[in-house]
């Protein structure tokens, strides 16, 4: 039996599963950094399972370095754009992800970013930390009242988008959406109206929030043209994947005053962040922490391990991709 290679330590969950695994579990030594490419290629050699994270590029080279005995790549994330699905399918390697268990955490963070940008929370915090003398002012840090009739546009209404809609409904915002669930009854019961096109959504929304997967088709889904189609003064929120947005075009749209600001948990060239956006007060940037809830991260790890146990025992994984 080959080993199971885990690309980062994942806390207590690992010990819960170690005994259930049919092979030896080998783990990269630090949670702070992923294995280098060389370490990854060396460590997967002879593995029957790889448990990967969004920071690990799992492509044909890695799959071949592992060898023919490799059965499954279990990604500890709902997104799996870091894995070459075609290369995995050609080699008969199963791929699994962790849908469902992080919807609430990502939706919570999306609302945090919506409020942080529209109500200028991070900007106010930065100001206070300068130690500058100040006094309450009727015009100081006035932002968008989302509860006063603002429209939220959810691009890619799936599980996470629905959790965002559920929270947004409590703020009394109007919600429009594109995506596979935009016409569902449960979306309607959350007050979601389907938009007939992305352009319609962009031109109607005060806040546009992205919740679609990154594929070849969705790369730069939001570029210069789409940003121009957005309402003057509106906000862009991205808790999905950085390359959905052309960041230089976004910086132009904010710099010109067309957009009110942006809230970005993910970045086009992660872990690099855009130097222009970093200088803008109306932009809130986070280090990809959408799923970083204590319970959520354990559930993601646990689901990945359960997928590995199933696949190595010849059973159907719980959440196979494709
Ligand atoms: C996901 O699950 O895809 C997240 O982005 C990882 O935190």
Spatial separation of the C-alpha atoms in residues 231 and 258, rounded to whole Å: 8
Low-confidence spans in the chain with pLDDT less than 70: none
CA of 117 to the centre of ligand 1 (A): 22
Give the contacts of 100 (CB within 8 A, at least 6 positions apart): 78, 159, 319
The alpha carbon dihedral of 261, 190, 183, 265 has a sign of positive
Atom of ligand 1 nearest to the CA of 80: 3
Domain covering 3-97+294-321: architecture? 3-Layer(aba) Sandwich (3.40)
Spatial separation of the C-alpha atoms in residues 214 and 212, rounded to whole Å: 7
Find the residues whose C-beta lies inside 6 A of ligand 1: 54, 77-79, 102, 290-291
Q: Do domains 3-97+294-321 and 103-285 have the same CATH topology?
A: yes
Q: What pLDDT shows up at residue 75? A: 98
Planar angle of CA 246, 251, 255, nearest 5 degrees: 150
Q: Would you say the pTM of this structure is higher than 0.95? A: yes
The ipTM estimated for the assembled molecules is 0.95
Distances (CA, A) of 291 to 82, 164, 311: 17, 14, 25
Atom of ligand 1 nearest to the CA of 292: 7
Q: What pLDDT shows up at residue 14? A: 93
- CATH code, residues 103-285: 3.40.50.720
Using a 10 angstrom Cβ sphere, with 0-12 exposed, 13-18 middle and 19 or more buried, the burial of residue 252 is middle
Spatial separation of the C-alpha atoms in residues 315 and 94, rounded to whole Å: 11
Q: What pLDDT shows up at residue 263? A: 98
Residue nearest to atom 3 of ligand 1 (CA): 79
Q: Which residue among 163, 291, 302 has the greatest number of ligand 1 atoms within 8 angstroms of its CB, and so is best to mutate?
A: 291
Residue nearest to atom 2 of ligand 1 (CA): 77
Q: What pLDDT shows up at residue 31? A: 87
Active-site amino acid positions:
241, 270, 288
Q: Which residue among 7, 78, 101, 307 has the greatest number of ligand 1 atoms within 8 angstroms of its CB, and so is best to mutate?
A: 78
Collapsed DSSP state (helix, strand, coil) of residue 30: coil
From 280, 297, 298, select the one nearest 288 (Cα to Cα). Answer: 297
Collapsed DSSP state (helix, strand, coil) of residue 191: coil
Q: What pLDDT shows up at residue 322? A: 79
Provide the 10 A C-beta neighbour count for residue 14. 17
Spatial separation of the C-alpha atoms in residues 107 and 115, rounded to whole Å: 12
CA of 255 to the centre of ligand 1 (A): 29
Residue 247, both tokens: 């960041």
Q: What are the DSSP calls for 139-160, one per residue?
A: TTT----TTTT-EEEEES-SHH
Residue nearest to atom 1 of ligand 1 (CA): 77
Q: What residues does each domain of the chain span?
A: 3-97+294-321, 103-285
Atom of ligand 1 nearest to the CA of 79: 3
From 304, 251, 265, select the one nearest 96 (Cα to Cα). Answer: 304
Q: Where in 234-287 does DSSP place strands (E)?
A: 235-238, 261-264, 283-285
N-terminal to C-terminal alpha carbon distance within the chain = 26
Check if the beta carbon of residue 284 is closer than 8 Å to that of residue 264: yes
Place of tokens 């690099």: 272
Distances (CA, A) of 87 to 50, 93, 231, 241: 15, 8, 41, 22
């Amino acid at each position: 039996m080959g080993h199971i290679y885990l690309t980062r330590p994942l806390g207590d969950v690992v010990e819960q599963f170690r005994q259930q695994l049919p092979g030896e579990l080998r783990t990269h030594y630090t949670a702070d950094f992923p294995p280098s490419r060389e370490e990854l290629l060396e460590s997967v050699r002879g593995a029957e399972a790889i448990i990967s994270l969004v920071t690990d590029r799992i492509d044909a080279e890695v799959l071949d370095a592992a060898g023919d005995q490799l059965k499954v790549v279990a990604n500890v994330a709902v997104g799996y754009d870091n894995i070459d699905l075609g290369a995995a399918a050609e080699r008969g390697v199963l791929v699994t992800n962790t849908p469902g268990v992080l919807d609430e955490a990502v939706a919570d963070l999306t609302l945090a970013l919506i409020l942080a940008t529209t109500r200028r929370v991070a900007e106010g915090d930065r100001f206070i930390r300068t130690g500058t003398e100040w006094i309450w002012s009727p015009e100081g840090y006035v932002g968008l009242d989302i509860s006063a009739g603002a429209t939220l546009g959810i691009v890619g209404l799936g599980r996470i988008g629905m959790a965002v809609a559920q929270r947004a409904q409590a703020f009394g915002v109007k919600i429009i959406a594109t995506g596979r669930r935009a016409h569902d009854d449960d979306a309607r019961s959350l007050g979601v109206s389907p938009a007939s096109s992305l352009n319609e959504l962009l031109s109607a929304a005060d806040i546009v929030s992205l919740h679609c997967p990154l594929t070849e088709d969705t790369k730069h889904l939001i570029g210069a043209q789409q940003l121009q189609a957005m309402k003057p003064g509106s906000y862009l929120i991205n808790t999905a994947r950085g390359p959905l947005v052309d960041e230089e075009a976004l910086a132009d749209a904010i710099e010109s005053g067309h957009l009110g600001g942006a809230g970005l948990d993910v970045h086009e060239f992660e872990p690099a962040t855009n130097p222009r956006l970093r200088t803008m007060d109306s932009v809130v940037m986070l280090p990809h922490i959408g799923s970083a809830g204590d319970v959520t991260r354990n559930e993601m790890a646990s689901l990945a391990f359960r997928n590995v146990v199933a696949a190595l025992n010849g059973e159907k994984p719980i959440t196979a991709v494709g």
